[in-house]
Amino acid sequence: MKILCAFLFAGTLCFLAQVVLDNTKLTPGHVTSLFTILGAFFGFIGLYDTFISFAGGGATIIISNFGYSLYKGAFLGFQEQGLIGLFSNILKYSSCAIAGVVLFAFVLTLIFKPKD
């Protein structure tokens, strides 16, 4: 059941993104940035927690989760440490994705040759 929810949630978001891509002049860069901001917004109004408990991996694999985890890090950081927590904890939950991309991409760049 959870798998079906994940399928529907991730699918619906990708569907919406494709509709935006096809009917406006926005590039994929615009759309991914837009969905990241939307993720932070849905975190702010408290909906993204519901999305994750409802769709699980389907909600955490979408780029919106990146915006949400930045929001969550900053928000919880403030409650732990005050104003400095906003800065020091903002990347707490999303550093996994950033560090992962940096490490994997760098190591693979050293190994593989670019295509012509």
Residues 2-31 that bind other proteins (CB under 8 A): 2-15, 17-19, 21-23, 28-29, 31
**Residue 5 Cα distances to 51, 52, 95, angstroms:** 10, 10, 27
**Residue 44: closest CA among 70, 71, 65:** 71
The site for other proteins, by CB under 8 A, has a size of 73
Q: Footprint of other proteins on residues 47-66 (CB under 8 A)?
A: 55-63, 65-66
Among 25, 26, 40, 54, interactor with other proteins by CB under 8 A: 40
Residue 62 and residue 42 in contact, taking contact as beta carbons nearer than 8 Å? no
Min dist CB 106 to other proteins, Å, is: 7
Among residues 47, 81, 84, 96, which is the contact residue for other proteins, using CB under 8 A?
96
Distance, in Å, from the CA atom of 91 to the CA atom of 57, rounded to the nearest integer, reads 20
Q: How far is the CB of 13 from other proteins (least distance, A)?
A: 6
* Least distance (Å) between residue 8 CB and other proteins: 7
* Residues constituting the chain: 116
Choice between 25 and 111, CB closer to other proteins: 111
Rounded Cα distance between 10 and 41, Å, is: 18
Quick note: the x/- pattern for other proteins over 97-116, rule CB under 8 A, is: xx-xxx-xxx-xx-xxxxx-
The pair of three-digit structure tokens given for residue 60, joined into one six-digit string: 């955490």
